[in-house]
Amino acid sequence: MKKLFFLILFLPLFASCLSADKFAKNPKHYYIELTSRKAEKAAFEFGTIDWSSGFMNKEAFGESQSIDSEEGMLFFETLTKDMQKLGVEDKDLLIYMHGFYANMWPYFPHTLRRFNKDLVKNEDCQIEIVLSIIWHGGLGYQKYWNDALKKGAKLSPIFPKLHELSNQTNCDLNLLTHSMGNQVMRGAVEKLDRDTTSYFEEWVLAAPDLDPTDFAEADFLRKVSSLAKRVHVYTYPRDKVLWLSSIVTGEKRLGAKVEAQKTFPDNIIVVDVGPLKWRNGFSGHVYFDSSRQVREDIVFIFTGTSLRDFSHRKLIDPQFYELHPQ
């Protein structure tokens, strides 16, 4: 019954993707994919996504068990050349970590097209290249959620490598993690060195499917704060997917509500989108895509806008905001 209900929650999402407008195309889009549901068996597939035909066509460089393989080296060399161009032009790279089953058609290509239109093709935004981290989980929500940590641990070497390329090319990195993609990223963060330096200019956690207690754990929170110059946590109290997740896991979800905590580091900002009204389907879970005002708020983030200059945010408590209708 729970699986059936969860499927029902996602039906409006897929329907919205099928009826989506045609978005602007970007010729190339990078991806790194873990090819198996089992982390210990998963290989890395490196490649690009070609949009020249108007459809999403994956073009793989090859796959291997290590990012330092011949295939990985070719991938990062190609990426480095593009990042060097961005560094000269003062442009940035966005890393995108999808959520629960969100690597599937039609949602994944829809999201990439949305990024192309709102970020890449937006002259006011610094984002010029999108790199997607694609992962697969086990069957059933609970196993999928448990496997996410293992996938993150497997993916963790990617981030020091990208940080190294960022320093070499003067191209800044940004990160957007959605839903259970935040659990994957948690697995990666826990494997990083304790004294991790700032990898990202901005990190957006959209509808994070995380246990608030895990997020607030001192060592993890310190790592999160040190990984990015600013960290933005988006919450929505009527998120039905996170409501169901809390039932399955028996724990509250960070993306449903964050209690005001004075203990948060100064660079962690919480944005509650509850006051907004938009066509969010039934789930209320993909507002980073479906809400125009949330998308505009995220564009402000990726342009490095000062907190005092964000439109339509209301300060509730230090570091805690509500996003209100225009």
What's the predicted TM-score (pTM) here?
0.90
Q: Where residue 277 falls among pLDDT bands split at 50, 70, 90?
A: confident
Q: Where residue 4 falls among pLDDT bands split at 50, 70, 90?
A: very low
**Domains of the chain by start residue, with CATH:** 2-323 (3.40.50.1820)
Q: Are strands 57-64 and 44-50 parallel, antiparallel or unpaired?
A: antiparallel
pLDDT digits (tens, 9 = 90+) for 33-79: 998 877 778 899 999 988 766 677 888 998 999 999 999 999 999 99
What are the C-alpha distances in Å from 18 to residues 22, 142, 196? Answer: 10, 28, 41
- Residue 219's pLDDT is 87
Whether 198 has a pLDDT exceeding 80, the answer reads yes
- Residue 195's pLDDT is 67
Query: What's the rounded Cα separation, in Å, for the pair 166 and 199?
Result: 8
- pLDDT above 70 covers what percent of the chain? 87
Exposure string over 200-220, b if 16+ CB within 10 A, otherwise e: bbbbbbbbbbbbbeebbeeee
With contact defined as beta carbons under 8 Å apart, do 16 and 114 qualify? no
Q: Which has the higher per-residue pLDDT, 106 or 299?
A: 299
